[in-house]
């Protein structure tokens, strides 16, 4: 977790008058990261934005109960993961899961791949690979997808993932191994 070290661990022993300022700083620091995780999970910009708002609203309501035992980012990520789960479990929104009107096509996310110093041929190849990874990620179970994205998009450590998901490190490793195997199979099958 590269971007979450500025304010952590949060010292909750500060006076109450500083709580609002602390929370504002946490929002400013971690909002892009939470949004990115939710966007990668849902592949829907509007939904990711809504869930990000909900995440910080919930965090704000419970900010006083946050004791700083884990990093603020891990705490926020845990809220985001739970919100995402609740969203998909909500029967009223199941329809959207199937239609996903706002969700981008699988290969569209690959269009955002920076070109860097690659040749056109290399760029096309890289885009194709990203599309394959996206397709494989979409087929993963919810838990595997969450762990995979936290590991390979957010670059979280296994211990952080374990804290955010509420699983043991061993379980996280097992899920991650299965997820990687599926992605590898997807890449290998297309060659």
Partner 1 sequence: MFRDKFAGDSQNPEQDAELGEALRDFRLSVHAWSDAAFSHPRTVVAAVAPTHVWRLAAGWALGCFLVAGGVSAGFWQHHQRQVEIRLAAVRVAEQQRLVALRQAQQARQEDEDLLAKVDSDVSREIPAAMEPLAQLMVEDTNP
User: Site residues (CB under 8 A) for partner 1?
Assistant: 32, 35-36, 39-40, 45, 48-49, 109-114, 126, 129-130, 132-134, 137, 152-153, 155, 177, 180, 183-184, 187-188
Whichever of 88 and 152 has its CB closer to partner 1, that residue is 152
Give, in order, the Cα–Cα distances in Å from 41 to each of 66, 117, 140, 146: 25, 29, 11, 7
Q: Is the dihedral of CA 45, 51, 56, 59 positive or negative?
A: negative
Whichever of 10 and 59 has its CB closer to partner 1, that residue is 59
CA–CA dist 110, 131 (Å, integer): 6
Question: Crossing angle, helix 169-190 and helix 158-165, to 10 degrees?
Answer: 110
Shortest Å distance, C-beta 13 to partner 1: 32
Whichever of 12 and 103 has its CB closer to partner 1, that residue is 103
Whichever of 15 and 188 has its CB closer to partner 1, that residue is 188
Q: How far is CA 181 from the centre of its chain?
A: 20
Shortest Å distance, C-beta 18 to partner 1: 27
Read off the tokens for 66. 């946050």
Angle, CA 84 vertex, CA 148 and CA 161 arms, to 5°: 35
Shortest Å distance, C-beta 112 to partner 1: 4
Whichever of 38 and 83 has its CB closer to partner 1, that residue is 38
Shortest Å distance, C-beta 51 to partner 1: 13
Cβ distance 35 to 60 under 8 Å? no
Shortest Å distance, C-beta 58 to partner 1: 19
């Amino acid at each position: 977790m590269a971007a979450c070290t500025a304010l952590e661990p949060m010292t909750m022993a500060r006076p109450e008058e500083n709580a609002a300022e602390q929370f504002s700083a946490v929002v400013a620091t971690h909002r892009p990261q939470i949004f990115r995780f939710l966007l990668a999970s849902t592949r829907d910009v509007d939904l990711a934005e809504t869930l990000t708002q909900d995440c910080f609203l919930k965090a704000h309501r419970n900010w006083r109960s946050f004791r700083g035992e884990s990093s603020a980012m891990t705490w926020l990520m845990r809220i985001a993961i739970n919100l995402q789960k609740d969203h998909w479990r909500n029967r009223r929104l199941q329809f959207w899961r199937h239609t996903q009107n706002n969700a981008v096509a699988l290969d569209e996310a690959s269009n955002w791949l920076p070109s860097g110093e690659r040749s056109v041929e290399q760029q096309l190849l890289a885009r194709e690979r990203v599309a394959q990874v996206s397709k494989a990620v979409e087929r993963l179970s919810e838990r595997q997808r969450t762990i995979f994205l936290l590991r390979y998009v957010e670059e979280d450590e296994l211990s952080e993932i374990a804290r955010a998901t509420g699983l043991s490190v061993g379980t996280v490793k097992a899920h991650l191994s299965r997820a990687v195997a599926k992605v590898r199979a997807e890449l290998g099958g297309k060659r």
